[in-house]
Amino acid sequence: MSYSRIINTLFLCTIIASTNGNLNKVKQVFEKNEVVPDVIPLAPNEFLKITYDNALEVRAGAELTPTNVKNQPLVQWRAQPHTYYTLIMTDPDAPSRIEPKFREFKHWLVTNIPGNDVSQGEVLAAYVGSGPPQHTGLHRYVFLLYKQPGKLEFDEERVGNNSRNGRPNFRASAFAEKYSLDNPIEGNFFQAQWDEYVTTVQKQLSGN
Ligand SMILES: *[C@@H]1O[C@H](CO)[C@@H](O)[C@H](O)[C@H]1NC(C)=O
């Protein structure tokens, strides 16, 4: 084998190893925190990149505060050409992880996103930040990115950012199944517990 062949082979092995490493990391962190199976049956392959206020990244289940996440974040992924995506943010721990009787609370749902331009998608539920009630511990806030088979018609009520309508008792996996979406291709999550900003979120949601 020539020297350059060896170098090439080593290079390829490194790429494969790092891809598998990431795959295992996503699976590991989704399973350890029981996002699998509480929200989805199988972990996605990649971490979805989510940034709040151009500064704060969502990192594999690390804790953020309701104050940190009050504004709609920037979500980035490598989109395939001529492809539509669905983005979901959901809280399986409503009202608490110990007693999730309203599992899940739908925080954000955007469909028919052309490529990775979330602003051009169809908003079924406008973004609402975390509002975990006091004394309910850490909640998991899970982001899921689905690839659509094409542009779809979504027969769902549209919900503004001042309304709770249709938000409790949501199921991301049932929604995905209803529209024949496969398992999410990318995902990520943070955890958050009550802080003073929750009062503002609750007021915001009492609009209707
Ligand atoms: C709610 O939506 C309106 C209209 O898009 C927007 O102006 C406002 O900033 C949003 N509020 C929050 C708290 O995100």
The C-alpha angle with vertex 60 and arms to 89 and 12, in degrees rounded to 5, equals: 115
Q: Computed from CA positions of residues 160, 162, 163, 169, in that sequence, does the dihedral angle turn out positive or negative? A: positive
| pLDDT, tens digit only, all 208 positions of the chain | 566 666 666 555 555 555 555 668 999 999 999 999 999 999 999 999 999 999 999 999 999 999 999 999 999 999 999 999 999 999 999 999 999 999 999 999 999 999 999 999 999 999 999 999 999 999 999 999 999 999 999 999 999 999 999 999 999 999 999 999 999 999 999 999 999 999 999 999 987 5
Instruction: Residue 60: give the domain boundaries.
Output: 3-204
Q: Alpha helix locations (H) across 83-147? A: none
Q: Whose CA is nearest to atom 2 of ligand 1?
A: 161
User: Helices H, strands E: what count in the chain?
Assistant: 4, 9
Provide CB contacts within 8 A for 148, sequence distance 6+: 83, 84, 85, 86, 111, 112, 179, 181
Give 191's strand partners: 63, 140
CB 35 within 8 A of CB 165: no
Q: What is the pLDDT of residue 36?
A: 97
Query: 8 CA distance to ligand 1 centroid (A)?
Result: 51
CB 73 within 8 A of CB 57: no
Q: What is the pLDDT of residue 206?
A: 87
- Residues lining ligand 1, CB < 6 A? 126, 161, 204
Residue 32: C-alpha distances to residues 27, 73, 89 (Å): 8, 25, 19
Query: 161 CA distance to ligand 1 centroid (A)?
Result: 6
Phi then psi for 12, rounded to 5 degrees?
A: -60, -45
Report the domain count for the chain.
1
Q: Which CATH number fits the domain that encloses residue 10?
A: 3.90.280.10
3 state DSSP class of 65:
coil
Q: Whose CA is nearest to atom 7 of ligand 1?
A: 161
Please tell me whether the peptide bond between 196 and the residue prior to it is cis, using omega within 30 degrees of 0. Answer: no
Q: What is the pLDDT of residue 31?
A: 97
| Pairwise CA distance, residues 202 & 160, whole Å | 14
